[in-house]
Structure 1
Amino acid sequence: MPVDQEKTGPRRQARGERRIAQLLEAAASVFCTTGYTASSTNAIAREAGVSPGTLYQFFPNKEAIAIELGDRLVHEMRDTYGEVLAPVDPSTPLEEAVGTAVDGFIAFNCLHPVFFALMHGPDIPGRLTEEHDALHANLLARVEALIAFYLPGAPTADIARTARMCFGLYKAGLELVLSHEGTEREAYVQELKNVLIRYLAPMVTAARTTA
Structure 2
Amino acid sequence: MPEAKAKKGATGDAGATRPRRRQARGEARIAQLLQAAASVFCASGYTASSTNAIAREAGVSPGTLYQFFPNKEAIAVELGDQLLHRWRDTYGAAFDQSHIELPLDRMLDAVLDPLIAFNCENPAFFVLMHGSEIPGRITEEHDILHTTMLSRVEGILADYLPDVPAAQLHRVAEMAFMVFKAGLDLVMAHGGEEREAYIRELKAAMYRYLDPLIGDDSPHLAPNARQDGTS
- TM-score, scaled to structure 2: 0.86
Q: Among 157, 172, 184, which residue is 2:182 paired with?
A: 172
Letter in 2 for 1:169: V
Q: Could you tell me which residue of structure 1 aligns to residue 191 of structure 2?
A: 181
Letter in 2 for 1:117: V
Q: Could you tell me which residue of structure 1 aligns to residue 225 of structure 2?
A: none
**Where does structure 2 lack aligned partners over 5 or more consecutive residues?**
1-10, 220-231
Q: Could you tell me which residue of structure 1 aligns to residue 65 of structure 2?
A: 55
**Mapping for residues 98-117 of structure 1, pairs under 5 Å:** 98-117=108-127
1:8 aligned to 2:18? yes
**Mapping for residues 30-109 of structure 1, pairs under 5 Å:** 30-88=40-98, 91-109=101-119
Q: Among 155, 160, 168, which residue is 2:165 paired with?
A: 155
- Alpha carbons of 1:73 and 1:205: their partners in 2 closer, same or farther (altered >3 Å)? same
Listed one character per residue, the Cα deviations across residues 106-138 of structure 1 (whole Å, up to 9, x for unaligned) are 110011001110101112213111111111111
1:199 aligned to 2:203? no
CA contact (8 A) 1:173 1:192 kept: yes
Helix, strand or coil: the match of 1:2?
helix
**Mapping for residues 119-130 of structure 1, pairs under 5 Å:** 119-130=129-140
Listed one character per residue, the Cα deviations across residues 36-73 of structure 1 (whole Å, up to 9, x for unaligned) are 11111001001111000000000000000000000011
- Alpha carbons of 1:90 and 1:189: their partners in 2 closer, same or farther (altered >3 Å)? closer
Q: CA RMSD in A?
A: 1.6
Offset at 1:157?
1.2
Letter in 2 for 1:185: R
Listed one character per residue, the Cα deviations across residues 60-105 of structure 1 (whole Å, up to 9, x for unaligned) are 0000000000001111111001001111355410101111111110
CA contact (8 A) 2:90 2:118 kept: yes
**Count of matched residue pairs:** 209
CA contact (8 A) 2:51 2:71 kept: yes
CA contact (8 A) 1:41 1:62 kept: yes
Helix, strand or coil: the match of 1:200?
helix
**Where does structure 1 lack aligned partners over 5 or more consecutive residues?**
none
Greater mean alpha carbon deviation, residues 89-98 or residues 36-45: 89-98
Larger Rg: 2
CA contact (8 A) 2:99 2:107 kept: no
Offset at 1:3?
2.9
User: Percent of aligned pairs with the same residue?
Assistant: 59
- TM-score, scaled to structure 1: 0.94
